[in-house]
Amino acid sequence: MTNMRALPPKFADWFGQNGWSLHPHQQEMLDRAEAPALLLIAPTGGGKTLAGFLPTLVDLAEEPHEGMHTLYISPLKALAADIKRNLTRPVEQMGLPIRIEDRTGDTSQSRRRRQRADPPHILLTTPESLALLTSYDDAARTFRGLKRVVIDEIHALAESKRGDQLMLALTRLQALCPDLKRVGLSATVEDPAAIAHLMARHPDPCEVLLADPGPAPDIQMLRTEEAPPWAGGGAAYSIPAVLDQVRQHKTTLIFHNTRAQAEIFFHNLWLANEDALPIAIHHGSLDRAQRAKVEAAMVRGDLRAIVCTGTLDLGIDWGDVDLIIQIGAPKNVKRLVQRIGRANHRYNAPSKALLVPANRFEVVECVAALEAVLEGALDGDAPGPGPRDVLCQHILITACAGPFDADALFAQIRSAGAYATLSRAAFDACLDFCATGGYALRAYDRWQRLLQRPDGLWQLRDPRSAQRIRMNIGTIQDTDKLKVRMQRKRGGKPLGEIEEGFAATLTKGDTFLIGGQIVRYEGLRETVVEVSRNAAKKPKVATFGGTKFATSTQLSARVQQMFTQEQWPELPPHTAEWLALQREVSQLPQPGELLVESFPHDGAEQTVFYGFAGRNGQQTLGLLLTKRMEDLGLRPLGFVATDYATLIWGLDPVDDPAPLLDSAALHEGLDSWLAGNAVMKRTFRAAATIAGLIERNTPQARKSGRQTTFSSDILYDTLLRYEPDHLMLEITREEALRGLVDFGRIEEMLSRIAGRIEHRRLPRVSPLAAPLLLEMGRVPVEGAAQERMLAEEAARLMEASGLAQLTPPPSNIPRRRDVS
């Protein structure tokens, strides 16, 4: 342990004037300022950010510095702005000669240019903006003299490709500034060593500093007079009880798992808000200006409650929040604890939180999660090796900055934890992909993207490529979103965004919720969804997607264990009775066997497989089973997966599920089964976009709109047909198996049930299956059933419109014929 470093008098005075003293972990961060990499794990409200910046402030106060001294990276733009505000105060009050600026996608062009030429002492930015900065040929000048990099909320970044991209950018910075010290700030995590591994400059270690975790949170399930519904995610039943809680507290954050749920809940809350309490909504689909308004009102303390999603999840200082309400099951114990700990910013006071199950299944899950929290059992999966699509983007970014040496770049990349075991062959494949596309057909020897010069260095062939590459930097894969505006002659008020897929299902006159109000779909003007105000009480369509979390293995097992109990004294009577009813009309899924239920519903044959393999595993099970059913002529139409079960519907009933679940058959040809699938295509689209094969933004598209682009599915199909071993398909399979496919949990399930399948044919939907019918995220099966549906619907449309009766013009009645 190093010696204690005394706080300079100026700082000690400032702390004293504010009546504060240094937390032990803040002192220790100062003491260990020279550690090459240091990870601080501290609870929220513990002055984590100040702990991260203290060595910087002291350094800059004691010694003048030319250029950039410290780079701060946060996952959220809003967080960067927030930190700037919080840092500026002590700097001004102590009169320190420190310039602090932020730089995000929102920063103006001229300011950004100036920042590159004349960087501030402390630059606050995001991983994407950093990646962009490193793509310029003047990066060495911009970062000259850089001593420290502070990565805030690193646990959040570590879970995504944004973190991988950031760590790769750091290897570049480290090459420019060899003495660069790395500091990571993290909330409580189950495995600090895993994050330290990602953060370290390999093979150097990264030390971990654990702060006092503070008192345990006070979490309970909200007890309501009214029972939660059998199904659905709206939790409308809890509105009176939630309003009651809002009245009793200063500021309440009401978290939802999806944006759609947040919208519906807010709408209902507002209808019931007879006292006119100031309540607002905040989520990522809302227009930026609207979000900013809510954030400002909250900082002023004007709001009593905010209905929100994950966008408020990270450590933004939201003032006096004294209650967190989580609507819907938390899905993951770790996220729950972090969400609750994070939003409460009072150090050394227990966080107070209430869980509100949205339906009766979630009551079970909430109780299981509470037990896990009490036992301090956090869950989580070990991170895999660094994704290669991100690596490809990194190579392209490197090329934008100027000629590079492949050996040196390879060595640099291997100093990032996630890529420490990257093989030279894997790197070379990525380099080849970036240079020529990496096709067996050497079509691009003339038009390579990257060229190797006679001196051995690699560079962009066409300097215009740099602009295109920069336009596509980043790893965040939003599904395509369309802006929503009020219809008016000239650009109405922006309301937010909806997914393109959702927009495609709307017909003129449909009503839906956005930003807490009901609007009517009027039409699409270029890429903007135009709507008008609508006074309807209930929206006709209310589903648009949001992020979905998968329930962890641990939580799934806990729920399953609860189903073995004779009685459930820990559950509210309504839920215990519901489980009892399920036991009566069918049975509860038991560990060690697979319950399958079949019943007709909604004009289709439905079959439910209660596999408890987690959302991704159940999703894959859906893919494999529907493919099997398609082959067997059972004409499946689609499926939906939850963390516990997969529901498949189709035109024909499943009489015997056992052959569908044959383990050997499920294993056999997993690749070919998955090849034509929507989930694989979705994964391919994400990977190909990150790797630079698909350009989301092009200079041309800016001019001409989106007509010229063709679907990534075409690229996927073409590659699959002509070059199935291509790197992009390899990456897609890798990604899918790791993420969306999660075949491991299916194998675990199959060995758990060891052939014991309990099939129940029921006259109608069972109590346990009911929630599945309302799940979002249905995956269509494009098979024989789709062709038939299309033909039926076409015939109906021709009849209904009268066109079928028309004799020419415009044509005689078209007839199908086979040309053979």
Partner 1 sequence: MNGLDFTFAGAALTALGSGALWWPAQSLLCVSDLHLGKSERLARRGGATLPPYETRDTLNRLAADLAATEPRHVVCLGDSFDDLGAAQALPEQERLWIMRLQAGRQWDWIEGNHDPGPVGLGGTHLAELALGPLTFRHIADPAQRAEVSGHYHPKASVYARKRSISRPAFLFDSDRLILPAYGTYTGGLGSGSQVLCGLMQPNACAILTGPQPVVIPMPRRAS
Nearer to partner 1, 719 or 749 (CB): 719
14 binds partner 1 (CB under 8 A): no
Sheet holding 305-308: strands in order across?
218-221, 352-356, 323-327, 252-255, 305-308, 279-282
Nearer to partner 1, 764 or 796 (CB): 796
State the Cα–Cα distance between residues 623 and 551, nearest whole angstrom: 19
Phi and psi at residue 513, to the nearest 5°: -95, 135
539 binds partner 1 (CB under 8 A): no
505 binds partner 1 (CB under 8 A): yes
Q: Compute the C-alpha angle 463/469/475, nearest 5°.
A: 165
Nearer to partner 1, 227 or 798 (CB): 798
DSSP string covering 83-147, please?
A: HHHHHHHHHHHTT----EEEE-TTS-HHHHHHHHHS--SEEEE-HHHHHHHHTSTTHHHHTTT--
371 binds partner 1 (CB under 8 A): no
Total binding residues for partner 1 by CB under 8 A?
73
803 binds partner 1 (CB under 8 A): yes
Please identify, among the stretches 10-18, 397-405, 588-596, 799-807, the one whose residues bind partner 1 according to the rule CB under 8 A: 799-807
Q: Which of residues 572-601 bind partner 1 (CB under 8 A)?
A: none
798 binds partner 1 (CB under 8 A): yes
812 binds partner 1 (CB under 8 A): yes
Nearer to partner 1, 230 or 444 (CB): 444
| Residue 120 tokens, joined | 């501030």
Q: Least distance from C-beta 478 to partner 1, angstroms?
A: 20
Q: Where are the beta strands (DSSP E) in 493-593?
A: 494-499, 511-514, 517-525, 528-533
Q: Compute the C-alpha angle 492/498/502, nearest 5°.
A: 125
Q: Which of residues 273-292 bind partner 1 (CB under 8 A)?
A: none
786 binds partner 1 (CB under 8 A): yes
Please identify, among the stretches 8-16, 239-247, 456-464, 744-752, the one whose residues bind partner 1 according to the rule CB under 8 A: 456-464
Q: Least distance from C-beta 438 to partner 1, angstroms?
A: 8
| Residue 675 tokens, joined | 């090849």
Nearer to partner 1, 111 or 706 (CB): 706
636: Cβ contacts below 8 Å, ≥ 6 apart? 625, 626, 629, 630, 648, 649, 650, 781, 783, 785
| CA-closest candidate to residue 135, choices 583, 437, 463 | 463
C-alpha torsion sign, points 133, 139, 145, 151: positive
797 binds partner 1 (CB under 8 A): yes
State the Cα–Cα distance between residues 733 and 527, nearest whole angstrom: 32
819 binds partner 1 (CB under 8 A): yes
Please identify, among the stretches 99-107, 224-232, 497-505, 581-589, the one whose residues bind partner 1 according to the rule CB under 8 A: 497-505
Q: Least distance from C-beta 474 to partner 1, angstroms?
A: 16
| Residue 164 tokens, joined | 């991988």
For the stretch 481-484, contacts whose Cβ atoms lie closer than 8 Å and that sit 24 or more positions apart, written own/partner, are 481/285, 482/524, 482/527, 482/528, 482/529, 483/527, 483/528, 483/529, 484/514, 484/519, 484/528, 484/529, 484/531
State the Cα–Cα distance between residues 361 and 568, nearest whole angstrom: 13
Q: Least distance from C-beta 685 to partner 1, angstroms?
A: 13
| CA-closest candidate to residue 200, choices 52, 72, 37 | 37
Q: Which of residues 676-705 bind partner 1 (CB under 8 A)?
A: 692-695, 698
Q: Least distance from C-beta 700 to partner 1, angstroms?
A: 9
Q: Least distance from C-beta 530 to partner 1, angstroms?
A: 9
816 binds partner 1 (CB under 8 A): yes
> What burial class does residue 257 get, using C-beta atoms within 10 Å of its C-beta: 0-12 exposed, 13-18 middle, 19+ buried?
buried
Q: Which of residues 603-662 bind partner 1 (CB under 8 A)?
A: 637-638
Among 121, 485, 726, 733, binds partner 1 (CB under 8 A): 726
Phi and psi at residue 332, to the nearest 5°: -155, 120
Q: Is 656 helix (H, G, I), strand (E, B) or coil?
A: coil
Among 504, 538, 664, 703, binds partner 1 (CB under 8 A): 504
Q: Which of residues 461-480 bind partner 1 (CB under 8 A)?
A: 461-465, 468
Nearer to partner 1, 230 or 439 (CB): 439
Nearer to partner 1, 512 or 644 (CB): 512
Interaxial angle between packed helices 727-736 and 712-722, expressed in degrees from 0 to 180 and rounded to the nearest 10: 110
Please identify, among the stretches 181-189, 291-299, 654-662, 793-801, the one whose residues bind partner 1 according to the rule CB under 8 A: 793-801
390 binds partner 1 (CB under 8 A): no
Among 94, 452, 709, 758, binds partner 1 (CB under 8 A): 709
Among 503, 531, 629, 772, binds partner 1 (CB under 8 A): 503
At 370, which helix (H) or strand (E)? Answer: helix 360-374
Nearer to partner 1, 223 or 816 (CB): 816
161 binds partner 1 (CB under 8 A): no
Q: Least distance from C-beta 662 to partner 1, angstroms?
A: 29
| Residue 331 tokens, joined | 């899905």
814 binds partner 1 (CB under 8 A): yes
Among 3, 507, 567, 805, binds partner 1 (CB under 8 A): 507
790 binds partner 1 (CB under 8 A): yes
Nearer to partner 1, 274 or 602 (CB): 602
Nearer to partner 1, 231 or 336 (CB): 231
820 binds partner 1 (CB under 8 A): yes
Among 537, 538, 703, 815, binds partner 1 (CB under 8 A): 815
718 binds partner 1 (CB under 8 A): yes
> What burial class does residue 608 get, using C-beta atoms within 10 Å of its C-beta: 0-12 exposed, 13-18 middle, 19+ buried?
buried
Among 138, 212, 662, 787, binds partner 1 (CB under 8 A): 787
Contact 320, 344 (CB under 8 A): no
Q: Least distance from C-beta 532 to partner 1, angstroms?
A: 15
Q: Least distance from C-beta 442 to partner 1, angstroms?
A: 9
Nearer to partner 1, 3 or 707 (CB): 707
**Parallel/antiparallel/unpaired status of strands 636-641 and 779-780:** antiparallel
Q: Is 761 helix (H, G, I), strand (E, B) or coil?
A: strand
Nearer to partner 1, 95 or 509 (CB): 509
Q: Least distance from C-beta 316 to partner 1, angstroms?
A: 37
405 binds partner 1 (CB under 8 A): no
439: Cβ contacts below 8 Å, ≥ 6 apart? 723, 726
**Parallel/antiparallel/unpaired status of strands 594-601 and 517-525:** unpaired
710 binds partner 1 (CB under 8 A): yes
Among 523, 573, 592, 669, binds partner 1 (CB under 8 A): 523
Please identify, among the stretches 159-167, 203-211, 653-661, 796-804, the one whose residues bind partner 1 according to the rule CB under 8 A: 796-804
Q: Least distance from C-beta 525 to partner 1, angstroms?
A: 8
Q: Is 33 helix (H, G, I), strand (E, B) or coil?
A: coil
| Alpha carbon separation from 123 to 4, 72, 74, 99, 666 (Å, rounded) | 28, 6, 11, 9, 52
State the Cα–Cα distance between residues 333 and 335, nearest whole angstrom: 6
330: Cβ contacts below 8 Å, ≥ 6 apart? 336, 339, 355, 365, 366, 369
Nearer to partner 1, 108 or 811 (CB): 811
Contact 369, 355 (CB under 8 A): yes
Q: Least distance from C-beta 609 to partner 1, angstroms?
A: 22
Q: Which of residues 408-437 bind partner 1 (CB under 8 A)?
A: 436-437
714 binds partner 1 (CB under 8 A): yes
| Alpha carbon separation from 306 to 269, 270, 325, 807 (Å, rounded) | 11, 12, 10, 61
